Amino acid sequence: MTDQSWEILSNQFVAVAGVLYFLALISILIEWASLRRLPAEEVVTTGRTAMFGRLGLILTGMAVVAHFVALVGRGMAADPNRVPWGNMYEFTLTGTFVVAAGYLLLRGRHGLAWMAPIVVTFVLSLLMVDVIWLHEPVAPLTEALFSPWLVIHVVSAILATGAFTLAGICSALYLVKDRARPRQTGYLARVPSPAVLDRVSYRLHSFGFPIWTFAVLITGPIWAHQAWSSYWNWDPKEVWAFITWVVYAAYLHARSTAGWKGRNAAIVALVALATLWFNFIGINFFSSTSQHSYASGAARIETRG
């Protein structure tokens, strides 16, 4: 296959993934709509509701596979072939993939079935934003990105982003569930108890935090040192990655501080998630000084006159 046909394939599979996520979302919504009226303890294993549940899961799985094919195609379309992490479009494509795949992987282990409508909505909307506003044709990497650190640095940053996002969904639901009065039916009744949400959220955070530390404070500085002559430049992206790190550190502390555990810790986690996503997408648009602004795919020439 030529590079061009790989690129077309990638674009087509992004569309396929989008359609599959959409169909999955519809199935999941039908499932949850009919579960809404049943008491929360009742587990439905047969009939139409269960069928839509399974269908939703299968469609999500297929969407994730299509999403993966799109990523591979993106990498193969470049000359020379490379990891598909050269610009914002590709970062977002990968980030949403990690969120969706992470959800599927952890679903059984942590009982995350309740997360289906949220994760699929989140991934679908971000994917649409990605295709509509961030799409760029395949291009060779900018000079500074030619480094083995690209793989290590970006993989760890995106993995941590995925884990933090799932963890943030748990924390958000924790806040909602904690406030709402207990009910026998409805969506919230099927969301696990605040204690469980808090624990799952903590586990996902403690998976993400060391990886984020590795990405931001080890691989980032090593690479920055090689490419930009100084391992810490207080570049806006670095500043915000540091802010994110500090706020997540605060979350871990808050969780074991009297008066902060529970509600306040969950709020801190959400603030941290906001800084994370702002850094991921926002900084590239708001700050022209960032050496990380690959959104424009520019070969950045820096002159400090």
Partner 1 sequence: MSTPTNQSLRSLDTGDTEVTPPRRPGELTLTEMLRWAWRQLTSMRTALILLLLLALAAIPGSVVPQSDVDSLKAANWQDAHPTLTPIYEKLGLFSVYSSPWFSAIYILLMVSLVGCFIPRTFVYWKAMRAAPPPAPRNLTRLPDHTSYDTDAAPEAALAAAEAELKKRHFRVVRTGDAVSAERGHLREAGNLLFHVSVLVVLVGFAVGSLFGYRGGVILVVGNGFSNNLTQYDDFVPGSLFSADDMEPFTFDVKDFDVNWLTEGPSKGQARGFDSHLEYRETPDAKPKDYDLKVNHPLKIGGTEVFLIGHGYAPVITIRDGNGDIAYSGPTIFLPTDQSFRSFGVVKAPDARPTQIGLEGEFYPTYAFTDQTGPFSAFGQATNPAISMLVYKGDLGMDSGEPQSVYQLDKADADLVRKPDGSMFRVDLAPGQKAKLPDGLGTVSFDGLQQWNKIQVSRTPGKLVALAGVVLALLGLLGSLYIRPRRIWVRARRRDGRTYIEVAGLDRSGGGDVASELHEIVSALGAGTPADRRKEES
What residues line the site for partner 1 (CB under 8 A)?
79, 136-140, 142-144, 146-147, 193, 195-196, 198-199, 202-203, 206, 209-210, 213-214, 217-218, 221-222, 225-236, 239-240, 242-243, 246-247, 249-250, 252-261, 268, 275, 283, 287, 289, 297-299, 301-305
Q: Which is nearer to partner 1, 62 or 199 (CB)?
A: 199
Q: Which is nearer to partner 1, 63 or 77 (CB)?
A: 77
Q: Which is nearer to partner 1, 88 or 124 (CB)?
A: 88
Least spacing, CB of residue 2 vs partner 1, in Å: 13
Least spacing, CB of residue 258 vs partner 1, in Å: 4
The backbone torsions φ and ψ at residue 185, rounded to the nearest 5 degrees and listed phi first, read -125, 175
How far does the chain reach from its first CA to its final CA, in angstroms?
46
| DSSP code, position 39 | B
Give the dihedral of Cα atoms 165, 212, 97, 195; nearest 10 deg: -30
Q: Which is nearer to partner 1, 58 or 246 (CB)?
A: 246
- Which residue is listed with tokens 């469609």? 59
Q: Classify 193 as helix, strand or coil.
A: coil
- Cα distance between residue 291 and residue 305, in whole Å: 16
- Cα distance between residue 64 and residue 67, in whole Å: 5
Least spacing, CB of residue 209 vs partner 1, in Å: 7
Amino acid 63 reads A
Q: Is the peptide bond preceding residue 80 cis, with omega within 30 degrees of 0?
A: yes
Residues in the chain: 305
Least spacing, CB of residue 12 vs partner 1, in Å: 18
* Half-sphere exposure at residue 294, Cβ-oriented, CA atoms within 13 angstroms: 21
Least spacing, CB of residue 60 vs partner 1, in Å: 27
Q: Which has the closest alpha carbon to 102: 74, 75, 67?
A: 67
Least spacing, CB of residue 277 vs partner 1, in Å: 15
Least spacing, CB of residue 125 vs partner 1, in Å: 26
Q: Which is nearer to partner 1, 69 or 239 (CB)?
A: 239
Q: Which has the closest alpha carbon to 157: 91, 102, 81?
A: 91
Q: Which is nearer to partner 1, 184 or 303 (CB)?
A: 303
Least spacing, CB of residue 133 vs partner 1, in Å: 18
Q: Which has the closest alpha carbon to 114: 70, 57, 182?
A: 57
- Cα distance between residue 255 and residue 265, in whole Å: 5
Q: Which is nearer to partner 1, 124 or 205 (CB)?
A: 205
- Cα distance between residue 151 and residue 22, in whole Å: 31
The backbone torsions φ and ψ at residue 227, rounded to the nearest 5 degrees and listed phi first, read -90, -35
Q: Which is nearer to partner 1, 132 or 298 (CB)?
A: 298
